[in-house]
Every structure is written in structure tokens, then in C-alpha cells.
Amino acid sequence: MPLEALIFDVDGTLAETEETHRQALNATFADFDLPWSWDQPTYRRLLRIMGGKERLRHFIEHDRPAKAEAALAALPKLHAAKNERYAALVAAGDVRLRPGVERLIREARAEGLRLAIATTTSLANVEALLAATLGPDARRIFEAVAAGDEVATKKPAPDVFELAVRLLGVDPSRAIAFEDTVYGLRAATAAGLRSVVTPSFYTDDQDFSGAAAVFDTLGDPGRPARHLGGAGAGVTMVTVPFLRTLSP
């Protein structure tokens, strides 16, 4: 079937945002007088829990840090404050798109492909990142945005990808998902999508068996992608013509 749409995850896929999320969390902990600090190993462990609010709840309930009960009671405010911190960091230019992302988006639009987002993060976080990296009109680039606060169950459940294809009105077999985590890969697969995976800083140790193709990045002229698995040995840039070869 012909390729009609590309559906992108956000955190770790469009941009290496997770370290910015971690910094925003630690600053928010200090603002709320919580004696916590998530180092990189801790954050890597907690990223197994999909969704920012869910991740915080898991940490509070399972790690039982100091002031756990007070933090649990204030969880909605804590999470909202963290998102405000994150948006400010993104607006300040702390985050850039990963190599090849902007090029592929431009190429896909020129080829008439439809674009969507499927993410566990909130709509506010999506809009903050898009505006900071692709400009104030970036939201118009994506016909559909399926965010984590719009579905009942987050990745690895397929809900957010199923919502994205439903909003686009395309058959999943005519779309390709872009992910950076094994949980996102499982979600896309369960929704009937093939996936191109570009592992990120916090997910480079995960098993991406089952992905249609795996590269370190999408690649750009002068910044070639490195093939890591699946189809595409010898490919140095993920392009629309290459993606069409992945169609069943």
C-alpha cells in the first residue's frame, strides 16, 4: 500500500528533551521544598514508567522519599509546575531538533505526506517544543496531535497511535511511526504501524527488535545516519523514498 502519513513521537524522537525534563523536575522539587534530586541513572530507571505524572506517582509510591505523603497530595500542582519550568527552558532555546528531523518534515510535506504526533507527554509540552524549534506556526505542520492527556492508557498501549490514525483518517498500514523507546515501538506495533526507531540518550540500551529500521539519527547532509538494525543497511539519510520501501 502507498505511504500516506508519518507519525512522530516527541520526547527523545523529535528532540533530546529528556535531560531538560530532568532539569525541570529537579528545579521544581527545590521550589516545593522537596529534598529530592534525580540523577541520570535514577531518571533512566524511572523512564520505564510512561507519562510524567505517572512517573512522579511511581517514584513517590515505590521509592518512598522524604515528604512522600505531602508530595502525593500536591501531585497535580507539582506536575503542572514542572511543565511550566520545562516550557520556560524550551522557550529559552535549551532544546534543538535531532539531526534530520526538520529535513524529513520538509521533504514529507513537499511529497504530500500527512504528518501527525503521537506522544505520552501533554499537549502543552508538545506546543512549547514545536513553537521553540519550528516557529510560531509549527502547529499547522501537523494535521493531528494525539497527546498523552487525551487517551485512557499510555504507551506501550496502542491508544495514542490509534487516536492519531483515527484523527488523520488513514489506515495504519499506510503510515510509519517514528519512536525512540521500546515502549513506543510496542505501542506503534500494536496499533498496526511499522516503525523507524532512533534511540535517544536515555534509551540506547533498549531492544528494538521488530522495528522496520533503526538508525542513530535520521541523518542530514554532512551528518550521516548510522544504521543500527532492520532495513536500510548503507542508508545515511532517512528519506521519503527510503520510507516508501518499507511499505508492505
What's residue 84's pLDDT?
96
Q: Any idea where the domains of the chain sit in the sequence?
A: 5-16+96-244, 18-91
Active-site residue 216, yes or no? Answer: no
| Residues 35-70 pLDDT 10s | 999 999 999 999 999 999 999 999 999 999 999 999
DSSP structural state of residue 57: H
Question: Please, are residues 230 and 214 in contact by the beta-carbon 8 Å criterion?
Answer: yes
11 is catalytic: yes
- Kindly name the residue from 9, 63, 207, 216 that is annotated as catalytic: 9
Tell me which DSSP letter residue 195 carries.
E
Q: Does domain 18-91 have CATH number 1.10.150.240?
A: yes
The whole-angstrom separation of Cα 191 and Cα 175 is: 11
Share of the chain above pLDDT 70, in %: 99
Domain 5-16+96-244 carries which CATH code?
3.40.50.1000
**pLDDT tens by residue, 102-146:** 999 999 999 999 999 999 999 999 999 999 999 988 889 999 999
What pTM does this model have? 0.94
For the beta sheet containing 144-146, the strands, ordered from the edge strand earlier in sequence to the opposite edge, are 144-146, 114-118, 5-8, 175-179, 194-197, 213-215, 227-230
Catalytic residue among 11, 94, 149, 205: 11
